[in-house]
Amino acid sequence: MPIVAHNDLPTFARLRDEGQNILDPRRALHQDIRELHIGLLNMMPDTALAATERQFFRLVGQSNQIAQFYVHPFSLEALPRGAEARAHIERYYEPFDRIRAEGLDALIITGANVTHPDLSNEPFWEPLREVVDWALENVTSTLCSCLATHAVLQFRYGQRRYGLPGKKWGVYPHRVVDRRHPLVENVNTLFDVPHSRFNEIGRHQFDAAGLRVLAESDQAGVHLAVSEDGFRLVFFQGHPEYDTVSLLKEYKREVGRFIQGQRPDYPPFPEHYIRLRDRAILEEHRLRILEALDRGQTPPKVPESRVATSLDNTWHDTAEGVVGNWMGCIYQVTNSDRRLPFMPGVDPDDPLGLRRL
């Protein structure tokens, strides 16, 4: 079912141009179908703000056939922003006070860039805690992505992430390890997920917190887990929302950081992502960049278009399946009035009857 274009956010036009079903709000009023209102707390930095917005809108809109989706983006005032990003947020995003007053059926919290080893020193720390505490009492289910997973594991479960020897960067195979949970019902039992992070919450920490791991990787660790009740909190440690070219664009940014002297080494390739032929193209480009820098010349641009056409997306269909199952679970246990999180007769401590599984 479509996402409803309930304001003039440019993402709606972008997704409509891609062929996604975006519904005019006047038509939505005449549809005899339930609405689901999904909050998107977008904490990503300015350069990734709009792209992350589109990725999650797209994933929600393509995931399920049971409802009309109203997606409500918002951010945190404590996050530093440039003028352009702040203007975008002020025009198209909603204040948290309005979202809190009107209510949500579900909430997605994105990752964020950090500058401190201890997340509690980040400017988003206390505002994020306020949002999560409110959601746990008033929203049916909250999906935490990457850094948001790390933050919630720290302030709610006392599990601090730890640094990895090097960046975990690439596309990695994962296996469903608990097939009884409805979030992984009828999805591929072996599937890929992109990861991009310097830090990790290990399997032993999820276990110590009493969380239920649903999918993990021998190479990349835990990707998908849920809270002790099986539903209130959903944790992603990877990035299933990524576009096919997202890691390539990250690689391009890292090359730019090397050229500008912001990193000492030339970036490696994301693992299991770029084909051998294209690695050869990018390796030749690396040599040209080094030669240009040695001569004091302007380095050539990364040949992004030559590589992008041969990249494979091996994760999006399963991501749609998991998010679609999540939406289906929310639909089952929410009242049509989203201010009432659970239908009469539903146990709020075990809304899906997961303790029987």
Alpha helices in 119-273, H assignment, sequence order: 125-138, 147-157, 203-208, 246-259
Neighbouring CB atoms inside 10 A of 32's CB total 4
Radius of gyration of the chain (CA): 21
Task: Name residue 196's beta-bridge partners.
Answer: 169
* 241 flagged as catalytic: yes
> 316-333 vs 46-61: helix axis angle to the nearest 10?
70
- Taking the chain, what is the end-to-end CA distance rounded to the nearest angstrom? 30
Put the strands of the sheet holding 68-74 in their side by side order: 22-23, 3-4, 68-74, 35-41, 106-109, 141-145, 233-236, 221-226, 212-217, 162-176, 190-200
Within 8 A by CB and 6+ apart from 262, the residues are none
User: Which of 65-98 are b and which e, b meaning 16 or more Cβ less than 10 Å from the residue's Cβ?
Assistant: ebbbbbbbbbbbeebebeeebeebbeebbbebee
Q: Of the candidates 51, 101, 96, 103, which has an alpha carbon nearest to the alpha carbon of residue 73?
A: 96
The beta strands (E) that lie in the chain are given as 3-4, 22-23, 35-41, 68-74, 106-109, 141-145, 162-176, 190-200, 212-217, 221-226, 233-236
Of 53, 88, 122, 146, the active-site residue reads 146
Of 37, 174, 181, 239, the active-site residue reads 239
Of 122, 241, 250, 320, the active-site residue reads 241
Q: Which residues are catalytic?
A: 146, 239, 241
